[in-house]
């Protein structure tokens, strides 16, 4: 036990420092395959670390969380190819390891944050999944369901917010779960604003604070996410079954794709835009800028997102 101070209330309390989970080590695992019995099945930490190019000592600390949070979204792209291909999106850890790690694909929030939570738990972090109501994008007055997954990570320093799966505005660093504190990340400023018993995540764009999503601290369970994941990946009115999307932060840049339109967002606020001319160029954009290994049959369905005649 250690003495810790709540970031939300300022009250000191006795907190348990998470232990490394059975089968996980405080240094880089060796041999290559390391399982985490009793935590998450089929979790090959060495393969995950290789996928995101992590070579540190994975102790369950804020420093490790910060590094993993920066590397994960840069290596594992936010994308929605499977819903567009009408393929099932599976949230079991072994399926996520196969797709996002072995097959070098990406995924959307449920896949990204489920995998990240599994890795963190394997390392000994205490993690809860939370649900957010997205406020970025919809017209004024439109209220969306609580459909976005994010993570609360308990640390000796207090609770932190982690989210490696929000497309263009994906966080690239964990945020202290403390209201009215401007927090710098590798890709700009964020803050949390209290709203009753909830929090609103905001991002600084130009000279304005813009809302991203609003969330409560009630922990969600896997059954909640199975329902949301099924709706998001199959409903004919879902954004994810109608538009091609990809996003990836690299260095101080953010790459984003919407259908055939690529945008490159620079740290100074400037944006470069280009349109892919045909299927082959769109496929090249996905492979080059987003490092996606395209699944079989991808070229045929990409045609619907270009102006290339059938």
Out of 44, 109, 122, 265, which one is annotated catalytic? 109
Out of 72, 148, 187, 265, which one is annotated catalytic? 148
Residue 204 to residue 194: CA distance in whole angstroms: 16
Out of 163, 187, 260, 265, which one is annotated catalytic? 163
Query: Is 42 an active-site residue?
Result: no
- Residue 241: phi and psi, rounded to 5, are -105, 5
Contact 24, 177 (CB under 8 A): no
Query: Is 148 an active-site residue?
Result: yes
List of E strands, the chain: 2-5, 12-15, 78-79, 126-134, 146-155, 158-162, 175-176, 183-185, 188-195, 198-205, 208-215, 245-250, 253-258, 261-265, 271-275
- Residue 157: phi and psi, rounded to 5, are -75, -10
Specify the residue for token string 């209220």.
143
Helix, strand, coil shares, percent, the chain, to 5: 30, 30, 45
Query: Is 36 an active-site residue?
Result: no
Active site residues: 109, 148, 163
């Amino acid at each position: 036990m250690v003495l810790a101070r709540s970031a939300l209330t300022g009250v000191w309390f006795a907190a348990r420092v998470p232990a490394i989970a059975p089968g996980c080590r405080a240094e880089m695992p060796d041999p290559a395959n390391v399982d985490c019995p009793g935590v998450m099945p089929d979790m090959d930490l060495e393969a995950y670390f290789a996928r995101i190019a992590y070579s540190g000592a994975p102790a369950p600390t804020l420093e490790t969380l910060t590094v993993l949070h920066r590397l994960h979204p840069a290596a594992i792209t936010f994308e929605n190819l499977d819903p567009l291909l009408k393929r099932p999106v599976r949230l079991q850890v072994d399926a996520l390891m196969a797709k996002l790690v072995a097959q070098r694909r990406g995924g959307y929030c449920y896949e990204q944050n489920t995998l990240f939570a599994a890795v963190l738990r394997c390392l000994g972090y205490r993690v809860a999944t939370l649900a957010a109501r997205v406020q970025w994008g919809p017209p004024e007055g439109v209220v969306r369901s609580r459909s976005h997954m994010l993570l609360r990570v308990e640390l000796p320093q207090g609770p932190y917010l982690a989210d490696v799966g929000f497309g263009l505005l994906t966080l690239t660093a964990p945020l202290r779960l403390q209201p009215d504190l401007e927090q710098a990340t590798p890709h700009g400023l964020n803050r949390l604003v209290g709203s009753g018993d909830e929090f609103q995540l905001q991002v600084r764009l130009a000279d304005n604070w813009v809302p991203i999503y609003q969330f409560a601290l009630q922990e969600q369970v896997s059954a909640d996410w199975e329902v949301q994941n099924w709706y998001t990946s199959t409903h004919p009115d879902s954004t994810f079954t109608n538009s091609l999307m990809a996003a990836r932060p690299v260095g101080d840049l953010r790459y984003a794709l919407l259908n055939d339109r690529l945008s490159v967002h620079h740290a100074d606020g400037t944006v470069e835009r280009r349109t892919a001319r045909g299927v082959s160029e769109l496929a090249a954009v996905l492979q080059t800028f987003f490092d996606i290994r395209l699944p079989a049959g991808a070229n045929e369905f990409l045609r619907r997102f270009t102006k290339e005649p059938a």
